[in-house]
């Protein structure tokens, strides 16, 4: 039990509300073990109470907006209310800002990259620690400049300020992650916002790794520390039902035309003119993901009631415990510094990250992630690989065999006992490297290391086996 300000956060109670948390999975040798999900930075499981509410709501579901049936009116109200719930969770001001429902963070950032209507010579400043989704969308829209990171992977705020000064007044946007999906580093988003605003630029925060693990307040537009744009995904905050969010100033989305057009975002159409409807419908063409929006809103309400600050403190406790245990392993290299959200990426000398991940999967029943986590530039920087050597290293190699890391990412439903089980297996693998290595081979069709006895045990290990994987 973890007590904060006389209010009690009960991890076991929260864990019971996680769907599938006690699901057992098959492992080599025929044992079924309770699955340990240490891949929460990629996606989180659903909340059982929210799923139950979804099932109830599905009885009343119908197409939203302009329908005259009772179910349509009710569904429209739920969908519209979800925008307000989301805004309240992150402190957005709906008088000046707008919540737009999208599929995920990637779509949100791509949408914004089109809607900012850059002029030739406009500059966007990003950083060397970004996910590809906060890098690639800007490359063909504006002059993209990158603020450096230090050897630990921390954003160099001095370099960011130099870029703002150098390219003033052409900088339109500073875009940074709230928290890194590789190192977990937390960026001082309000300090960065104040810096950007001082040079008449706006700020976008990629909140994919932040919103589920740390309180967020976008603040009033009158505050120089306010966040202009925020993007995040439902599937990383216990609502894996295909909804994401882009929040930004209404004035941005009232200028020009939406990049998608069709049903739902017009008031009137003639042969020669289109009258666009109001926000947010203007930016949400087509039939929306009503169920996904409903689930995201309900998940945020659940977390708000639970107390996101309390969840964050419990996750920090787990993080420190995991770090303490991991640091004792021989040959381990942990990347980045602390404090951070509950993400740890590491390598162990003599063991390929992809092989280690597969052993944990097939033998320990532990889910992790390996590779570069869609942040190749940042990972290469942390590994000490320079840009000039990329072609020589990457030419003709399978993606899973390229330089990378193994990542564990914790959430508030994880436990010390699960960390202990992971460490027990890591100790065993390190002590018996040769034995484990000879029992695995790389499968190009699977894109990963698999047990050598896979052809004989595939159906046992993988009940939903796909053609060609055996």
Name the residues annotated as catalytic: 374
Q: What are phi and psi of 367, to 5 degrees?
A: -100, 120
∠ CA 55-88-266, nearest 5°, is: 75
CB 442 within 8 A of CB 400: yes
What's the CA gap between 92 and 321, in Å, rounded? Answer: 34
Cα-Cα-Cα-Cα dihedral of 205, 210, 216, 218, to 10°? 10
The pairing of strands 2-4 and 7-9 is antiparallel
Report how far apart the first and last C-alpha atoms of the chain are (Å, whole number): 45
Structure tokens at 274: 């289109």
* Closest by Cα among 215, 210, 208 to 234: 208
CB 441 within 8 A of CB 450: yes
What residues does 371 pair with on adjacent strands? 405
Place of tokens 């009690």: 8
What's the CA gap between 355 and 292, in Å, rounded? Answer: 35
Contacts of 425 by beta carbon, 8 Å cutoff, 6+ apart? 359, 360, 363, 364, 366
Listed in order, strand segments (DSSP E) in 220-295 are 229-233, 244-249, 266-269, 274-276
The pairing of strands 143-147 and 332-334 is unpaired
Contacts of 4 by beta carbon, 8 Å cutoff, 6+ apart? 307, 309, 310, 313
What's the CA gap between 266 and 111, in Å, rounded? Answer: 18
């Amino acid at each position: 039990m973890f007590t904060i300000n006389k209010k009690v956060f009960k991890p076991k109670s929260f864990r019971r509300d996680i769907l599938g948390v006690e699901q057992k999975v098959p492992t080599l040798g025929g044992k079924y073990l309770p699955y340990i999900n240490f891949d929460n930075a990629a996606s989180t499981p659903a909340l059982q109470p929210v799923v139950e509410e979804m099932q109830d709501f599905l009885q009343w579901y119908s197409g939203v907006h302009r329908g005259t049936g009772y179910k349509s009116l009710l569904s429209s109200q739920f969908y519209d209310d979800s925008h307000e719930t989301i805004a309240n969770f992150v402190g957005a001001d709906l008088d000046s800002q707008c919540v737009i429902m999208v599929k995920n963070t990637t779509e949100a950032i791509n949408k914004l990259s089109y809607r900012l209507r850059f002029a030739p010579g406009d500059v966007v400043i990003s950083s060397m620690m970004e996910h590809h989704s906060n890098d690639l969308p800007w490359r063909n829209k504006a002059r993209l400049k990158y603020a450096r990171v230090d050897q630990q992977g921390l954003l160099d705020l001095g370099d960011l300020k130099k870029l703002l000064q150098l390219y003033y007044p052409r900088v339109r946007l500073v875009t940074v992650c709230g928290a890194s999906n590789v190192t977990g580093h937390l960026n001082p988003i309000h300090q960065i916002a104040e810096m950007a605003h001082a040079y008449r630029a706006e700020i976008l925060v990629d909140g994919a790794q932040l919103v589920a693990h740390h309180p967020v307040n976008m603040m009033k537009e009158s505050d120089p520390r306010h966040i202009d744009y925020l993007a995040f995904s439902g599937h990383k905050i216990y609502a894996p039902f295909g909804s994401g969010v882009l929040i930004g100033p209404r004035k941005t989305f009232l200028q020009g035309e939406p990049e998608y057009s069709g049903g739902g975002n017009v008031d009137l159409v003639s042969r020669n003119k289109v009258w666009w409807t109001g926000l947010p419908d203007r930016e949400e063409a087509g039939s929306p993901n009503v169920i996904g929006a409903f689930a995201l809103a309900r998940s945020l309400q659940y977390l708000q009631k639970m107390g996101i600050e309390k969840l964050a403190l419990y996750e920090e406790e787990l993080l420190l415990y995991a770090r303490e245990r991991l640091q004792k392993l021989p040959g381990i290299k942990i990347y980045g510094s602390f404090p951070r959200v509950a993400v740890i990426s590491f390598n162990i000398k003599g063991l390929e990250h992809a092989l280690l991940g597969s052993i944990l999967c097939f033998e320990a029943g532990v889910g992790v992630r390996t590779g570069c986590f869609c942040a190749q530039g940042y990972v290469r920087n942390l590994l000490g690989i320079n840009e000039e050597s990329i072609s020589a290293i990457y030419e003709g190699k399978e993606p899973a065999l390229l330089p990378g890391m193994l990542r564990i990412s914790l959430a508030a439903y994880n436990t010390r006992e699960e960390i202990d089980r992971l460490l027990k297996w890591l100790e065993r693998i390190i002590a018996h490297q040769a034995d484990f290595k000879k029992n695995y081979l790389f499968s190009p069709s699977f894109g990963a290391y698999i047990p050598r006895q896979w052809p004989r045990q595939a159906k046992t290990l993988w009940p939903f086996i796909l053609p060609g994987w055996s």
